[in-house]
Structure 1
Amino acid sequence: MSARPPGLEVAGLHVGYPNRPVVHGADVTVEAGQVAAIVGPNGCGKSTLLRSLARLHRPASGTVRASGVDVWALGRREAARRIALLPQSPLAPEGVTVSGLVRFGRHPHQSVLRQWSREDERAVREAMEATATVEFAGEPLARLSGGQRQRCWLAMVLAQETPLVLLDEPTSALDLGHVVDVLELVRDITAGGRTVVMVLHDLSAAARYADTVVAMKDGRVLAQGPPAETVDSALVKELYEVEADVVAGPSDGAPVVVPRSRSGG
């Protein structure tokens, strides 16, 4: 019996714009059912890499495979059944309700011959239950707080029922309580075997909630692997050019990054 293919395999990926290469020969592997966090300084190519995984930016060369299938060889609808993307600043139609937003996640599964079904209703209901957004079903999305809206967007992604989920800075502009809520929900997403790849700025949060950290600088993958084996003072120095102590979290042993004062005081 053959082993199950990884949730994501990226090999030799080069991505960029005319006369401006951005990602240089990236190799990334994420096991199915795991969370990977892409980290690194601003402008290092994190979001460009994620856009290429999501088929929004065609690479100059290299391959992206989701569950063993080359995503760039798929048609648009089939790709949308395999890969879900939540961008950093998603836009919703004016006046859309929460349930209406979550229903958008079912569009890739519909066609002229397959209209709204009980299967779609089930997927929407389970996604809203998993994200604790049922109570907001009839509310306009715009009336909710930032943390509540982010849970609703995640519900839409869950309703899409793809094996690979891509999240671009899902905790951006959220307060600490909502950051924890969102990242714990991200962990829950993998319970059914889904693979999650997310871009994060907070290295300590990445080390706590991800199974694999992918560290990038200047468009190149410098390191990847389990946080406890990857995140250390040397990596922080190389990525961000700051001195830091990396200590084990008292509750779970996850690496915690504590920057040192530049003044030494």
Structure 2
Amino acid sequence: MDLRVEQLTAGYDGRTVVDAVDLVVESGQVVAVVGPNGCGKSTLLRTMARLHTPRAGRVLAGGADIASLGRREMAHRVALLPQSPQAPEAVTVAGLVRYGRHPHQGLFRQWSREDERAVERALDATGTTALAERRLDELSGGQRQRCWLAMALAQETPLLLLDEPTSALDIGHAVEVLELVRSIAASGRTIVMVLHDLAGAARYADTVVALLDGRVVASGPPRTTIGTDLVRELYGIETEILFASSDGAPVVVPAGRAAPAV
């Protein structure tokens, strides 16, 4: 399912945070949204998930304006994994993943064998089957993040929105999560994720979208989009851009603060 954002504008308390953003994500693609703190990345994701009402513009999921969808239909199309998800105390991994099936429940539709199979598929896809009966609070950060992804997968939506899925993870666990994201996309799901890690965005995303002050200032394949000028504009630092010998992905090496503009 494709995702289209058209002239989306959103904000808080009279302040514009996302300003006339356009974005097209084709089915099965991974888009990484990058930019400095406070540039509007999370607000953009929350508005795309209909947790925040836009001032202007619209979001189309599979051609349907999400503003026109019922709650159940919306939950069948789009899943959001927020930046700091909260779980009930002492919940097991299996219990957490089952929460992903709530949009499929209803007055005349209770827990079924199909729900159980969806949970099993999500656990298997994220490599967390062996952790199913463990408590979430007993696990490492990387394990927990894979469990949260399993919950989002269990919802079985074609569109996944991930807000900083590698936040607070060491480099090993971050790579583990990003490789999982890539494998999820290979199964046909469409993913938009907010990342601070430019190297991760360059290697694992099909498209990088750079935000600054709520506006898109660059968008395209990582190899042609991430460069010294863009990094200077976003973060105010000078860099060297190297290219990985394995696949040509750009690697950003900081070289100090940029000189102030004269």
What corresponds to 1:82 in structure 2?
77
Please name the residue that 2:155 is paired with: 160
Structure 1 residues 196-221: Cα deviation after superposition (integer angstroms, max 9, x where no partner): 00000011110110001010001100
Structure 1 partner of 2:9? 14
Q: Match for residue 134 of structure 1? A: 129
Offset of 1:19 from its aligned partner?
A: 1.7
Look up the match of 1:117: 112
The reply on whether 1:144 has 2:135 as its aligned counterpart is no
Percent sequence identity is 66
Q: Does 1:244 align with 2:239?
A: yes
Taking only aligned residues, the RMSD between alpha carbons, in angstroms, comes to 1.3
TM-score (norm 2): 0.96
Give 2:188's match in structure 1, choosing from 189, 193, 196.
Answer: 193
Counterpart of 1:52 in structure 2 is 47
Say whether 1:105 aligns with 2:100: yes
Secondary structure in 2 matching 1:138: coil
Q: TM-score scaled to structure 1, two decimals?
A: 0.95
Q: Per-residue displacement from partner, 1:45-87 (whole Å, max 9, x unpaired)? A: 0000000001100100101011111111111111011100100
Which residue of 2 is the match for residue 260 of structure 1? 255
1:247 deviates by 1.7
In 1, Cα distance between the equivalents of 2:103 and 2:164? 24
Give the one of 176, 185, 189 matched to 1:181: 176
Q: Is the 8 A contact 2:4 2:24 kept in 1?
A: yes
Contact 1:32/1:67 (8 A) holds in 2: no
> Structure 2 stretches of 5 or more lacking a match?
none
Q: 2:222·2:249 contact (CA, 8 Å) conserved in 1?
A: yes
Determine if contact 1:224/1:230 at 8 Å carries over to the other structure. Answer: yes
1:202 pairs with one of 197, 204, 228: 197
Aligned-pair CA distance for 1:118: 1.5
Deviation at 1:231, TM superposition (A): 0.9
Q: How many Å separate the matches in 1 of 2:54 and 2:258?
A: 43
> Aligned match of 1:235 in 230, 233, 236?
230
Distance 1:16 1:133, change over 3 A: same
Distance 2:63 2:178 in 1: 27
CA 1:104–1:19: 2 relative to 1, 3 Å: same
Q: After TM superposition, list the pairs within 5 Å mapping 1:204-219 onto structure 2.
A: 204-219=199-214
For 1:150, give the aligned amino acid. Q
Q: 2:60 pairs with 60, 65, 75, which one?
A: 65
Q: Deviations over 1:12-62 (max 9, x none)?
A: 011001221111100011111000000000000000000000110010010
- Inter-partner Cα distance in structure 1 for 2:42 and 2:223: 24
Does the 8 Å contact 2:34/2:194 carry over to 1? Answer: yes
Q: Deviations over 1:128-175 (max 9, x none)?
A: 011111111111111111111100000000110001000000000001
SS at match of 2:83: coil
- Offset at residue 261 of structure 1 (A): 3.0
Q: How far has the Cα of 1:262 moved from its partner?
A: 4.0
1:3 counterpart residue number? none
Are residues 114 and 218 of structure 1, via their aligned partners in 2, closer, same or farther at CA, if it must alter by over 3 Å? Answer: same
C-alpha separation between the residues in 1 aligned to 2:258 and 2:206?
Answer: 34
> Where does structure 1 differ by over 2 angstroms across 4 or more consecutive aligned residues?
261-264
Q: Secondary structure at the match of 1:24?
A: strand
Number of residue-to-residue matches in the alignment: 259
Deviation at 1:242?
Answer: 0.9
